[in-house]
Structure 1
Amino acid sequence: MLTELLPNKGQKQLKQTEGLQNRVWDDVMQRTKPGILIYPIFWLIIAYGSGFYKSHFILTWTLEFVFILASFWRFFQFKYLEHWQTSCPTIWAAGLLISVVTHSLGWGIMFGYSTFIDNTAFSFFMGFSSSGIAAGGTNSFAPKRILATSFIITFTLPPLIAAIIAGDQWVMASLISVFIVYTLNLAKQQNREYWRSLTNEVILEKHSRTDALTSLKNRRFSTKSFMNYVNYLHVTKNTSLY
Protein backbone atom coordinates (compact mmCIF):
# COMPACT_ATOMS: atom_id res chain seq x y z
CA MET A 1 0.00 0.00 0.00
CA LEU A 2 1.08 3.58 -0.56
CA THR A 3 0.90 4.37 3.16
CA GLU A 4 3.74 1.93 3.72
CA LEU A 5 6.01 4.39 1.89
CA LEU A 6 5.47 6.84 4.73
CA PRO A 7 6.80 5.82 8.19
CA ASN A 8 4.59 6.19 11.26
CA LYS A 9 6.58 9.23 12.33
CA GLY A 10 6.04 10.75 8.91
CA GLN A 11 2.31 10.08 9.13
CA LYS A 12 2.13 11.89 12.48
CA GLN A 13 3.99 14.85 11.01
CA LEU A 14 1.63 14.79 8.05
CA LYS A 15 -1.37 15.12 10.38
CA GLN A 16 0.22 18.20 11.95
CA THR A 17 0.78 19.97 8.64
CA GLU A 18 -1.10 23.26 8.69
CA GLY A 19 -2.26 23.12 5.08
CA LEU A 20 -3.51 19.57 5.49
CA GLN A 21 -5.28 20.44 8.74
CA ASN A 22 -7.17 23.16 6.88
CA ARG A 23 -8.18 20.58 4.29
CA VAL A 24 -9.43 18.26 7.05
CA TRP A 25 -11.46 20.99 8.73
CA ASP A 26 -12.97 21.88 5.37
CA ASP A 27 -13.93 18.23 4.87
CA VAL A 28 -15.54 18.17 8.32
CA MET A 29 -17.60 21.26 7.57
CA GLN A 30 -18.69 19.89 4.20
CA ARG A 31 -19.73 16.61 5.85
CA THR A 32 -21.69 18.33 8.63
CA LYS A 33 -23.29 21.05 6.52
CA PRO A 34 -26.45 19.03 5.67
CA GLY A 35 -27.09 18.36 9.37
CA ILE A 36 -26.73 21.89 10.71
CA LEU A 37 -30.51 22.41 10.94
CA ILE A 38 -31.41 18.83 11.88
CA TYR A 39 -31.62 19.51 15.62
CA PRO A 40 -34.02 22.49 15.67
CA ILE A 41 -36.22 20.95 12.96
CA PHE A 42 -36.40 17.48 14.50
CA TRP A 43 -36.95 18.90 17.97
CA LEU A 44 -40.00 20.92 16.97
CA ILE A 45 -41.48 18.00 15.05
CA ILE A 46 -41.04 15.65 18.01
CA ALA A 47 -42.16 18.14 20.67
CA TYR A 48 -45.35 19.07 18.83
CA GLY A 49 -45.98 15.67 17.26
CA SER A 50 -45.92 13.92 20.62
CA GLY A 51 -47.71 16.67 22.53
CA PHE A 52 -44.65 17.23 24.73
CA TYR A 53 -44.93 20.99 24.28
CA LYS A 54 -48.30 21.08 26.06
CA SER A 55 -46.81 20.20 29.43
CA HIS A 56 -43.32 21.62 28.76
CA PHE A 57 -43.92 24.73 26.70
CA ILE A 58 -41.09 26.84 28.15
CA LEU A 59 -38.62 23.95 28.00
CA THR A 60 -39.59 23.23 24.40
CA TRP A 61 -38.91 26.73 23.16
CA THR A 62 -35.87 27.30 25.36
CA LEU A 63 -34.20 24.24 23.89
CA GLU A 64 -35.34 25.25 20.41
CA PHE A 65 -33.66 28.62 20.89
CA VAL A 66 -30.44 26.92 22.04
CA PHE A 67 -30.48 24.58 19.03
CA ILE A 68 -31.08 27.46 16.61
CA LEU A 69 -28.29 29.50 18.21
CA ALA A 70 -25.83 26.60 17.95
CA SER A 71 -26.89 25.95 14.34
CA PHE A 72 -26.44 29.61 13.46
CA TRP A 73 -22.98 29.60 15.00
CA ARG A 74 -21.96 26.53 12.98
CA PHE A 75 -23.31 28.14 9.81
CA PHE A 76 -21.35 31.30 10.61
CA GLN A 77 -18.19 29.24 11.08
CA PHE A 78 -18.78 27.45 7.81
CA LYS A 79 -19.28 30.68 5.89
CA TYR A 80 -16.11 32.30 7.22
CA LEU A 81 -14.07 29.10 7.41
CA GLU A 82 -11.10 30.33 5.39
CA HIS A 83 -10.79 33.60 7.31
CA TRP A 84 -10.98 31.95 10.73
CA GLN A 85 -8.47 29.26 9.80
CA THR A 86 -5.97 31.93 8.81
CA SER A 87 -6.44 34.36 11.68
CA CYS A 88 -7.30 32.21 14.73
CA PRO A 89 -7.58 28.47 13.97
CA THR A 90 -7.49 27.40 17.63
CA ILE A 91 -10.42 29.62 18.59
CA TRP A 92 -12.30 28.47 15.50
CA ALA A 93 -11.81 24.80 16.38
CA ALA A 94 -12.85 25.41 19.99
CA GLY A 95 -15.96 27.24 18.81
CA LEU A 96 -16.92 24.34 16.56
CA LEU A 97 -16.43 21.86 19.38
CA ILE A 98 -18.65 23.93 21.68
CA SER A 99 -21.42 24.16 19.09
CA VAL A 100 -21.26 20.42 18.39
CA VAL A 101 -21.37 19.57 22.10
CA THR A 102 -24.25 22.01 22.62
CA HIS A 103 -26.31 20.15 20.05
CA SER A 104 -25.39 16.66 21.18
CA LEU A 105 -25.61 17.32 24.92
CA GLY A 106 -28.95 19.10 24.62
CA TRP A 107 -30.38 16.24 22.60
CA GLY A 108 -28.86 13.61 24.88
CA ILE A 109 -30.33 15.22 27.99
CA MET A 110 -33.80 15.27 26.47
CA PHE A 111 -33.42 11.66 25.36
CA GLY A 112 -32.56 10.78 28.94
CA TYR A 113 -35.43 12.87 30.27
CA SER A 114 -37.84 10.92 28.07
CA THR A 115 -37.37 7.88 30.33
CA PHE A 116 -38.88 9.75 33.30
CA ILE A 117 -42.05 11.15 31.74
CA ASP A 118 -45.30 9.42 30.85
CA ASN A 119 -45.30 10.12 27.13
CA THR A 120 -44.80 7.00 25.04
CA ALA A 121 -44.83 8.87 21.73
CA PHE A 122 -42.15 11.30 22.89
CA SER A 123 -39.93 8.47 24.17
CA PHE A 124 -40.33 6.55 20.92
CA PHE A 125 -39.64 9.55 18.69
CA MET A 126 -36.56 10.52 20.71
CA GLY A 127 -35.15 7.00 20.63
CA PHE A 128 -35.88 6.52 16.93
CA SER A 129 -34.39 9.84 15.83
CA SER A 130 -31.41 9.58 18.18
CA SER A 131 -30.14 6.41 16.54
CA GLY A 132 -30.08 8.11 13.14
CA ILE A 133 -28.52 11.33 14.41
CA ALA A 134 -25.83 9.42 16.31
CA ALA A 135 -24.89 7.38 13.24
CA GLY A 136 -24.81 10.45 11.00
CA GLY A 137 -22.78 12.50 13.45
CA THR A 138 -20.24 9.72 13.95
CA ASN A 139 -19.65 9.56 10.21
CA SER A 140 -19.60 13.33 9.73
CA PHE A 141 -17.06 14.02 12.48
CA ALA A 142 -14.84 11.02 11.67
CA PRO A 143 -11.96 13.08 10.17
CA LYS A 144 -11.46 14.70 13.58
CA ARG A 145 -11.53 11.99 16.21
CA ILE A 146 -11.82 14.41 19.13
CA LEU A 147 -15.00 15.82 17.58
CA ALA A 148 -16.45 12.37 16.94
CA THR A 149 -15.62 11.16 20.46
CA SER A 150 -16.98 14.30 22.13
CA PHE A 151 -20.16 14.04 20.08
CA ILE A 152 -20.75 10.38 20.93
CA ILE A 153 -20.06 10.74 24.66
CA THR A 154 -22.21 13.84 25.18
CA PHE A 155 -24.98 12.39 23.02
CA THR A 156 -25.23 8.98 24.69
CA LEU A 157 -24.04 9.47 28.27
CA PRO A 158 -27.12 11.41 29.53
CA PRO A 159 -29.62 8.71 28.47
CA LEU A 160 -27.33 6.03 29.91
CA ILE A 161 -27.19 7.80 33.27
CA ALA A 162 -30.95 8.34 33.18
CA ALA A 163 -31.57 4.66 32.47
CA ILE A 164 -29.34 3.65 35.39
CA ILE A 165 -31.03 6.10 37.77
CA ALA A 166 -34.48 4.90 36.71
CA GLY A 167 -33.59 1.48 38.11
CA ASP A 168 -36.00 -0.57 36.00
CA GLN A 169 -34.43 0.41 32.67
CA TRP A 170 -31.60 -2.13 32.68
CA VAL A 171 -32.40 -3.23 29.13
CA MET A 172 -32.15 0.35 27.88
CA ALA A 173 -28.93 0.88 29.84
CA SER A 174 -27.42 -2.26 28.35
CA LEU A 175 -28.40 -1.29 24.81
CA ILE A 176 -26.98 2.21 25.19
CA SER A 177 -23.74 0.84 26.65
CA VAL A 178 -23.27 -1.50 23.70
CA PHE A 179 -24.18 1.33 21.32
CA ILE A 180 -21.55 3.60 22.88
CA VAL A 181 -18.83 0.99 22.46
CA TYR A 182 -19.93 0.32 18.89
CA THR A 183 -20.04 3.96 17.80
CA LEU A 184 -16.70 4.79 19.44
CA ASN A 185 -15.10 1.87 17.64
CA LEU A 186 -16.82 2.90 14.40
CA ALA A 187 -15.51 6.46 14.77
CA LYS A 188 -11.99 5.14 15.34
CA GLN A 189 -12.17 2.93 12.26
CA GLN A 190 -13.60 5.66 10.04
CA ASN A 191 -10.97 8.10 11.26
CA ARG A 192 -8.22 5.61 10.39
CA GLU A 193 -9.68 4.99 6.93
CA TYR A 194 -10.06 8.72 6.28
CA TRP A 195 -6.44 9.46 7.14
CA ARG A 196 -5.20 6.46 5.18
CA SER A 197 -7.04 7.73 2.11
CA LEU A 198 -5.79 11.28 2.63
CA THR A 199 -2.21 10.08 3.13
CA ASN A 200 -2.37 8.08 -0.10
CA GLU A 201 -3.65 11.16 -1.89
CA VAL A 202 -0.76 13.26 -0.59
CA ILE A 203 1.80 10.62 -1.58
CA LEU A 204 0.36 10.31 -5.09
CA GLU A 205 0.35 14.08 -5.48
CA LYS A 206 3.97 14.24 -4.35
CA HIS A 207 5.05 11.50 -6.77
CA SER A 208 3.18 13.16 -9.63
CA ARG A 209 5.28 16.33 -9.14
CA THR A 210 8.66 14.66 -8.60
CA ASP A 211 11.02 12.80 -10.92
CA ALA A 212 11.52 9.25 -9.62
CA LEU A 213 15.24 9.13 -10.48
CA THR A 214 16.48 12.57 -9.49
CA SER A 215 13.82 13.49 -6.88
CA LEU A 216 13.66 16.90 -8.57
CA LYS A 217 10.49 18.69 -9.53
CA ASN A 218 9.29 17.45 -12.91
CA ARG A 219 7.79 19.17 -15.94
CA ARG A 220 4.25 18.83 -14.63
CA PHE A 221 5.16 20.76 -11.49
CA SER A 222 6.90 23.47 -13.50
CA THR A 223 3.95 23.83 -15.87
CA LYS A 224 1.46 23.99 -13.02
CA SER A 225 3.56 26.55 -11.14
CA PHE A 226 3.87 28.67 -14.28
CA MET A 227 0.13 28.58 -14.93
CA ASN A 228 -0.59 29.50 -11.31
CA TYR A 229 1.73 32.47 -11.66
CA VAL A 230 0.08 33.52 -14.92
CA ASN A 231 -3.34 33.33 -13.27
CA TYR A 232 -2.04 35.37 -10.36
CA LEU A 233 -0.78 38.08 -12.70
CA HIS A 234 -4.06 38.06 -14.58
CA VAL A 235 -6.13 38.43 -11.43
CA THR A 236 -4.02 41.10 -9.78
CA LYS A 237 -3.46 42.95 -13.08
CA ASN A 238 -0.05 44.05 -11.91
CA THR A 239 1.55 43.45 -15.28
CA SER A 240 0.83 42.27 -18.81
CA LEU A 241 2.17 39.30 -20.71
CA TYR A 242 1.74 40.96 -24.07
Structure 2
Amino acid sequence: MTLRYAVDAVVLDIEGTTSATGFVVDVLYPYSRDRFADLLSQRADEPEVARAIAQVRELTGEPDADAAAIEKTLNAWLDEDRKATPLKTLQGIVWAEGFARGDLVSHFYADVVPQLRAWHAAGVRLYVYSSGSVAAQRAWFTNSPEGDLTSLVSGFYDTENAGPKQEAASYRRIASATGVEPSRLLFLSDRPGELDAAREAGWHAVGVRRPGEPYFAQGVGDHAQAGSFDEITVSGSTA
Protein backbone atom coordinates (compact mmCIF):
# COMPACT_ATOMS: atom_id res chain seq x y z
CA MET A 1 0.00 0.00 0.00
CA THR A 2 1.30 3.46 -0.95
CA LEU A 3 0.89 6.41 1.40
CA ARG A 4 0.29 9.71 -0.40
CA TYR A 5 0.86 13.20 0.98
CA ALA A 6 0.56 16.64 -0.60
CA VAL A 7 3.20 18.53 1.35
CA ASP A 8 5.84 21.18 0.77
CA ALA A 9 8.55 19.57 2.89
CA VAL A 10 9.62 16.25 4.38
CA VAL A 11 11.59 16.19 7.63
CA LEU A 12 13.77 13.13 8.19
CA ASP A 13 14.95 11.32 11.28
CA ILE A 14 18.23 9.43 10.70
CA GLU A 15 18.71 6.47 13.06
CA GLY A 16 16.24 3.71 12.25
CA THR A 17 14.65 5.77 9.47
CA THR A 18 17.13 6.70 6.74
CA SER A 19 19.93 4.64 8.23
CA ALA A 20 20.65 1.62 10.40
CA THR A 21 20.85 2.26 14.13
CA GLY A 22 23.32 -0.60 14.33
CA PHE A 23 25.81 1.31 12.21
CA VAL A 24 25.68 4.28 14.57
CA VAL A 25 25.94 2.14 17.71
CA ASP A 26 28.53 -0.35 16.43
CA VAL A 27 30.73 1.97 14.36
CA LEU A 28 30.28 5.61 15.32
CA TYR A 29 29.86 5.25 19.08
CA PRO A 30 33.13 3.33 19.58
CA TYR A 31 34.90 5.77 17.26
CA SER A 32 33.89 8.71 19.44
CA ARG A 33 34.55 6.86 22.71
CA ASP A 34 38.15 6.26 21.63
CA ARG A 35 38.69 9.95 20.95
CA PHE A 36 36.93 11.80 23.79
CA ALA A 37 40.01 11.85 26.03
CA ASP A 38 42.21 13.59 23.46
CA LEU A 39 39.45 16.03 22.55
CA LEU A 40 38.85 17.04 26.17
CA SER A 41 42.51 17.26 27.16
CA GLN A 42 43.94 18.92 24.06
CA ARG A 43 41.14 21.13 22.74
CA ALA A 44 39.19 22.28 25.79
CA ASP A 45 39.77 25.94 24.88
CA GLU A 46 37.99 25.68 21.52
CA PRO A 47 34.63 27.49 21.84
CA GLU A 48 32.40 24.58 20.82
CA VAL A 49 34.28 22.11 23.05
CA ALA A 50 34.32 24.56 25.96
CA ARG A 51 30.57 25.12 25.66
CA ALA A 52 29.91 21.37 25.68
CA ILE A 53 32.15 20.90 28.72
CA ALA A 54 30.23 23.63 30.54
CA GLN A 55 26.95 21.94 29.64
CA VAL A 56 28.17 18.59 31.00
CA ARG A 57 29.17 20.24 34.26
CA GLU A 58 25.76 21.93 34.49
CA LEU A 59 23.82 18.75 33.74
CA THR A 60 25.77 16.71 36.28
CA GLY A 61 25.86 19.42 38.94
CA GLU A 62 29.66 19.16 39.05
CA PRO A 63 31.03 22.64 38.23
CA ASP A 64 34.62 21.58 38.88
CA ALA A 65 34.60 18.29 36.95
CA ASP A 66 37.93 17.72 35.22
CA ALA A 67 38.54 16.11 31.84
CA ALA A 68 38.63 12.60 33.27
CA ALA A 69 35.31 13.06 35.08
CA ILE A 70 33.69 14.52 31.98
CA GLU A 71 34.96 11.66 29.84
CA LYS A 72 33.49 9.20 32.35
CA THR A 73 30.13 10.98 32.13
CA LEU A 74 30.18 10.99 28.32
CA ASN A 75 30.92 7.26 28.23
CA ALA A 76 28.12 6.56 30.72
CA TRP A 77 25.72 8.53 28.53
CA LEU A 78 26.93 6.56 25.53
CA ASP A 79 26.15 3.31 27.34
CA GLU A 80 22.64 4.63 28.11
CA ASP A 81 22.21 5.98 24.55
CA ARG A 82 21.23 9.23 26.22
CA LYS A 83 20.39 12.07 23.84
CA ALA A 84 22.31 14.69 25.81
CA THR A 85 23.15 17.80 23.78
CA PRO A 86 26.81 18.15 24.90
CA LEU A 87 27.44 14.47 24.14
CA LYS A 88 26.00 14.93 20.66
CA THR A 89 28.05 18.09 20.15
CA LEU A 90 31.33 16.37 21.01
CA GLN A 91 30.43 13.28 19.01
CA GLY A 92 29.67 15.56 16.08
CA ILE A 93 33.10 17.14 16.23
CA VAL A 94 34.84 13.76 16.34
CA TRP A 95 32.67 12.23 13.63
CA ALA A 96 32.95 15.19 11.26
CA GLU A 97 36.73 14.94 11.45
CA GLY A 98 36.58 11.17 10.99
CA PHE A 99 34.42 11.54 7.90
CA ALA A 100 36.73 14.25 6.53
CA ARG A 101 39.76 11.99 7.00
CA GLY A 102 38.02 9.12 5.24
CA ASP A 103 37.94 6.98 8.38
CA LEU A 104 34.15 6.89 8.20
CA VAL A 105 31.50 6.55 5.49
CA SER A 106 27.84 6.89 6.43
CA HIS A 107 25.07 4.35 5.90
CA PHE A 108 21.72 4.75 4.13
CA TYR A 109 19.12 2.07 3.47
CA ALA A 110 18.95 1.24 -0.25
CA ASP A 111 15.46 2.70 -0.70
CA VAL A 112 16.30 6.09 0.79
CA VAL A 113 18.60 8.03 -1.53
CA PRO A 114 16.61 7.38 -4.76
CA GLN A 115 13.46 8.64 -3.03
CA LEU A 116 15.19 11.69 -1.61
CA ARG A 117 16.41 12.57 -5.08
CA ALA A 118 12.95 12.05 -6.56
CA TRP A 119 11.24 14.16 -3.90
CA HIS A 120 13.81 16.91 -4.28
CA ALA A 121 13.41 16.86 -8.06
CA ALA A 122 9.65 17.18 -7.59
CA GLY A 123 10.17 20.43 -5.67
CA VAL A 124 9.61 19.04 -2.18
CA ARG A 125 12.05 20.50 0.33
CA LEU A 126 13.97 18.09 2.57
CA TYR A 127 15.11 18.75 6.13
CA VAL A 128 16.83 16.62 8.75
CA TYR A 129 15.87 16.53 12.43
CA SER A 130 18.04 14.21 14.47
CA SER A 131 19.32 13.97 18.03
CA GLY A 132 22.80 13.93 16.50
CA SER A 133 24.34 17.40 16.22
CA VAL A 134 24.01 19.49 13.07
CA ALA A 135 27.75 19.00 12.49
CA ALA A 136 27.30 15.23 12.61
CA GLN A 137 24.28 15.40 10.32
CA ARG A 138 26.16 17.45 7.73
CA ALA A 139 29.09 15.03 7.86
CA TRP A 140 26.69 12.10 7.50
CA PHE A 141 25.05 13.50 4.36
CA THR A 142 28.34 14.77 2.91
CA ASN A 143 30.09 11.41 3.18
CA SER A 144 27.52 8.89 1.99
CA PRO A 145 28.36 5.81 -0.11
CA GLU A 146 26.74 7.69 -3.00
CA GLY A 147 28.69 10.89 -2.51
CA ASP A 148 27.73 14.28 -1.14
CA LEU A 149 23.97 14.50 -0.60
CA THR A 150 23.86 17.89 1.13
CA SER A 151 22.55 19.59 -2.00
CA LEU A 152 19.28 17.71 -1.42
CA VAL A 153 18.82 19.11 2.10
CA SER A 154 17.47 22.57 2.81
CA GLY A 155 18.31 22.59 6.53
CA PHE A 156 19.44 20.59 9.55
CA TYR A 157 17.90 20.58 13.04
CA ASP A 158 19.03 19.01 16.31
CA THR A 159 18.16 19.17 20.00
CA GLU A 160 20.11 22.42 20.35
CA ASN A 161 18.57 24.54 17.62
CA ALA A 162 15.10 22.93 17.67
CA GLY A 163 14.67 21.24 21.06
CA PRO A 164 13.87 17.73 22.34
CA LYS A 165 12.42 15.41 19.73
CA GLN A 166 9.45 14.27 21.82
CA GLU A 167 8.11 17.77 22.48
CA ALA A 168 5.58 19.40 20.14
CA ALA A 169 7.20 22.81 20.70
CA SER A 170 10.28 21.59 18.82
CA TYR A 171 8.24 20.84 15.73
CA ARG A 172 6.48 24.19 15.96
CA ARG A 173 9.92 25.81 16.10
CA ILE A 174 11.03 23.97 12.95
CA ALA A 175 7.83 24.92 11.13
CA SER A 176 8.42 28.55 12.02
CA ALA A 177 12.08 28.42 10.98
CA THR A 178 11.32 26.81 7.62
CA GLY A 179 8.31 29.01 6.91
CA VAL A 180 6.24 25.94 6.03
CA GLU A 181 2.72 25.58 7.37
CA PRO A 182 2.49 22.63 9.80
CA SER A 183 -0.18 20.98 7.65
CA ARG A 184 2.29 20.98 4.75
CA LEU A 185 5.05 19.20 6.67
CA LEU A 186 5.63 15.43 6.81
CA PHE A 187 7.86 13.85 9.47
CA LEU A 188 9.36 10.38 9.05
CA SER A 189 10.66 8.57 12.13
CA ASP A 190 10.75 5.14 13.75
CA ARG A 191 9.99 6.46 17.26
CA PRO A 192 6.35 6.71 18.40
CA GLY A 193 7.00 9.54 20.85
CA GLU A 194 8.49 11.69 18.12
CA LEU A 195 5.62 10.95 15.76
CA ASP A 196 3.16 11.89 18.50
CA ALA A 197 4.91 15.22 19.08
CA ALA A 198 4.97 16.05 15.36
CA ARG A 199 1.26 15.29 15.02
CA GLU A 200 0.47 17.39 18.09
CA ALA A 201 2.21 20.29 16.31
CA GLY A 202 -0.10 19.82 13.32
CA TRP A 203 2.26 17.89 11.06
CA HIS A 204 1.66 14.72 9.07
CA ALA A 205 3.67 11.85 10.53
CA VAL A 206 4.60 8.41 9.20
CA GLY A 207 6.30 5.69 11.19
CA VAL A 208 9.07 3.90 9.32
CA ARG A 209 9.32 0.29 10.51
CA ARG A 210 12.39 -1.66 9.42
CA PRO A 211 13.08 -5.22 10.65
CA GLY A 212 15.99 -5.34 13.03
CA GLU A 213 15.59 -1.77 14.25
CA PRO A 214 15.08 -1.19 18.01
CA TYR A 215 11.52 0.13 17.67
CA PHE A 216 10.32 -2.39 15.08
CA ALA A 217 8.58 -4.71 17.57
CA GLN A 218 7.05 -1.81 19.50
CA GLY A 219 5.38 -0.44 16.39
CA VAL A 220 4.36 3.15 15.77
CA GLY A 221 1.07 3.36 17.65
CA ASP A 222 -1.85 4.62 15.61
CA HIS A 223 0.32 6.38 13.03
CA ALA A 224 0.45 5.46 9.38
CA GLN A 225 3.43 3.22 8.76
CA ALA A 226 5.76 2.26 5.93
CA GLY A 227 8.39 -0.43 5.62
CA SER A 228 10.51 1.64 3.25
CA PHE A 229 10.56 5.04 1.57
CA ASP A 230 9.28 3.37 -1.62
CA GLU A 231 5.87 3.12 0.06
CA ILE A 232 5.58 6.90 0.49
CA THR A 233 4.60 9.27 -2.31
CA VAL A 234 4.86 13.01 -1.74
CA SER A 235 3.96 15.88 -4.01
CA GLY A 236 4.17 19.62 -3.59
CA SER A 237 0.70 20.22 -4.94
CA THR A 238 -2.80 19.27 -3.83
CA ALA A 239 -3.83 18.99 -7.45
TM-score (norm 2): 0.27
Higher helix share: 1
Richer in strand (by share)? 2
Identify the structure with bigger relative contact order (alpha carbons < 8 Å, sequence gap 6+): 2
Larger radius of gyration: 1
Q: Under a length normalisation based on structure 1, what TM-score does the superposition of the two structures give?
A: 0.26
